[in-house]
Amino acid sequence: MSFSTLVNDLTYRDDPRPASARTISTATDTRSQISRARSYASTAATSVSISGDISSQLHGGYSHPLARSWQAERQLTKSMLIYPLFITDNPDESELIPSLPGQRRMGLNKIIPLLQPLIAKGLKSVILFGVPLAPSAKDALGTAADDPQGPVIAALRLLRRAFPRLFLVADVCLCEYTSHGHCGILNEDGTLNNNLSVDRISDVAMAYAEAGAHCVAPSDMNDGRIRAIKLKLIEAGIAHRVVLMSYSAKFSGCLYGPFRDAAGSCPSFGDRRCYQLPPGGRGLARRAIHRDIKEGADIIMVKPATQYLDIISDAKEIGKDMPVAAYHVSGEYAMIHAAAKAGVFDLKAMAFEATEGILRAGASIVVSYFTPEFLDWLDT
């Protein structure tokens, strides 16, 4: 019932005269009728509210765009974002990655022009992945991973000089540098040698820290590598200035394909199921998170993100006093692009929805290929 209809209804209801005898109301009568109508409407609304729980009335709390934004426990900001970069050993390389829309493999001479406008827009952090292209760069031990002239160490030194305020994260793994494509050193039978792998990974982490990384992020998933890295950082006297971010809950699966195209890190045989977590292994993920916190991790990461929101929530519960990061991986990013291109949804709307879900689950840091777009979108 409209408000004007309510006024007329009350007027006719309260007037004892027949319709033929009714005359046009004066201005005073009209005001009186409107006042009575409002009182009637208010009483009716109150009777509805008090018939149930008053807390059921929620709409007013998010009726304005600003009030709506206040309902989020965490709102996406530029400082939450880390942008992945693929750095090659060819200084002038700038090659689009077909399976990863808009992303490139780049050499050292191309990094500064790429980052300058992004930093001007508010980019705060990048994570570096080395992509050696030279045929001789890969061997069974991943020797090139900590080569002083290799792509990651060279990029760290360059970026520390060029952008002193940019927070530099170095991914620590061997898969890009080993001839077999696995994340550690193998036994003769092709299985992973955990002890040798941990020793090697921790040496690489130290090399990156000494080259200028603000944060080292081991993604290999070898048991005990967080403790080994932390102890070496302490022994070197630099633990107080290097953040240790652990890929604690990194799940195996099919969402890494575009990344492996970008980094050239696909295993030459087998897969990584023996050291990456099974998709259904929630309890195993919780145990890994507990372990890495005890071993000295400063930040816990979950990877992938949108399929593992429960694990992000678990990580925040377990590490309630620690930052939790989530890697919105290449497959997740490529799926959103593919669906948006097919007209399933709007790219920007879905990128925000996916990322806000990650934040809602408990993350406060997001590694995202959408970072350049977010730097623009967050200003509009």
Active site residue ranges: 250, 303
How far apart CA 37 and CA 52 sit, in angstroms, is 24
Strand pairing category for 365-368 and 104-106:
unpaired
Is the separation of the CB atoms in 263 and 129 below 8 Å? yes
Is the separation of the CB atoms in 275 and 222 below 8 Å? yes
Is residue 175 annotated as involved in ligand binding?
Answer: yes
Bridge partners (DSSP) of residue 104 are 96
Q: What share of the chain is helix, strand, coil (3-state, %, to 5)?
A: 50, 15, 35
Bridge partners (DSSP) of residue 299 are 245
Is residue 272 annotated as involved in ligand binding?
Answer: yes
Full 3-state SS string of 80-114: HEEEEEEEECCCCCEEECCCCCCCEEECHHHHHHH
Strand pairing category for 94-96 and 243-250:
unpaired
Is residue 38 annotated as involved in ligand binding?
Answer: no
Strand pairing category for 365-368 and 243-250:
unpaired
Is residue 31 annotated as involved in ligand binding?
Answer: no
Q: Helix crossing, 108-120 with 151-162: angle to 10°?
A: 40
Structure-derived torsion over alpha carbons of residues 84, 89, 92, 93, reported in degrees to the nearest 10? -60
Please count the residues of the chain: 380
Name the DSSP letter for residue 76: -
Q: What separation, in Å, do the N-terminal and C-terminal C-alpha atoms of the chain show? A: 39
How far apart CA 241 and CA 234 sit, in angstroms, is 10
CA 273 from chain center: how many Å? Answer: 23
Q: Based on DSSP, count helices (H) and strands (E) in the chain, helices before strands.
A: 13, 10
Is residue 161 annotated as involved in ligand binding?
Answer: no
Is residue 157 annotated as involved in ligand binding?
Answer: no
Is residue 173 annotated as involved in ligand binding?
Answer: yes
Annotated binding site: 173, 175, 183, 260, 272, 330, 369
Annotated binding site for Zn(2+): 173, 175, 183
Annotated binding site for 5-aminolevulinate: 260, 272, 330, 369
